[in-house]
């Protein structure tokens, strides 16, 4: 009975949120909306090996390799049903992925991409809120849509890509 008494007295208190409390109460209204997670990007030192892992070992649907010279990367998309993985490999010596892989030899998560319904409105409001955007204008991303990147130091250490939905 001594163990049971100790377990009963040291059990954590669990609090639940009242259904009357709405998280949206504290969220200021924006002229744009954050949408779904589009993809998680992973920098890989060996693109063919990474493609093979997802296709041959895990059985995922994997796209062909696409070169994006404007971004300095080769991309491959892995379909996951509810989102995608984007495999990134350096294209050219000035590739941001090359410098990432110099610091992370085995690769790793590079960025997340979230869709927005109005990228221009998002840019305007984020600048007003002192969130640094890594380009003056959106660039066309891997899906043929405008994208911007937010500075990781302003996003808790995560490089965030916003893509026009």
Look at residue 78 and tell me if it is in a domain.
yes
Look at residue 110 and tell me if it is in a domain.
yes
Look at residue 134 and tell me if it is in a domain.
yes
Q: What is the pLDDT of residues 16-58, one digit of tens each?
A: 444 444 454 565 677 899 999 999 999 999 999 999 999 999 9
What pLDDT sits at residue 26?
A: 60
Q: What is the pTM of this model?
A: 0.81
Domain count, the chain: 1
Supply the CATH number for residue 59's domain. Answer: 3.10.180.10
* Greatest distance between any 2 Cα atoms in the chain: 70
Look at residue 18 and tell me if it is in a domain.
no
Look at residue 26 and tell me if it is in a domain.
no
Q: What is the pLDDT of residues 103-124, one digit of tens each?
A: 999 999 999 999 999 999 999 9
Look at residue 143 and tell me if it is in a domain.
yes
Look at residue 9 and tell me if it is in a domain.
no
């Amino acid at each position: 009975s001594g163990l049971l008494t100790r377990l009963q007295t040291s059990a954590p208190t669990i609090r639940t949120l009242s259904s009357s409390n709405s998280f949206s109460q504290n969220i200021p209204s924006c002229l744009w909306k954050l949408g779904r997670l589009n993809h998680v990007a992973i920098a890989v030192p060996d693109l063919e090996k990474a493609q093979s892992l997802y296709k041959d070992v895990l059985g995922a649907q994997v796209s062909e390799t696409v070169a994006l010279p404007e971004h300095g990367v080769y991309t491959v998309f892995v379909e996951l049903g509810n989102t995608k993985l984007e495999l990134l490999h350096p294209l050219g010596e000035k590739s941001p992925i090359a410098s990432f892989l110099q610091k992370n030899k085995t690769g790793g998560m590079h960025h997340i991409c979230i869709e927005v319904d109005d990228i221009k409105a998002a840019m305007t409001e984020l600048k007003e809120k002192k969130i640094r955007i890594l380009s003056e204008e959106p660039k066309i991303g891997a899906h043929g849509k405008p994208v911007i990147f937010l500075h990781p130091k302003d996003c808790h250490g995560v490089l965030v890509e916003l893509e026009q939905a």
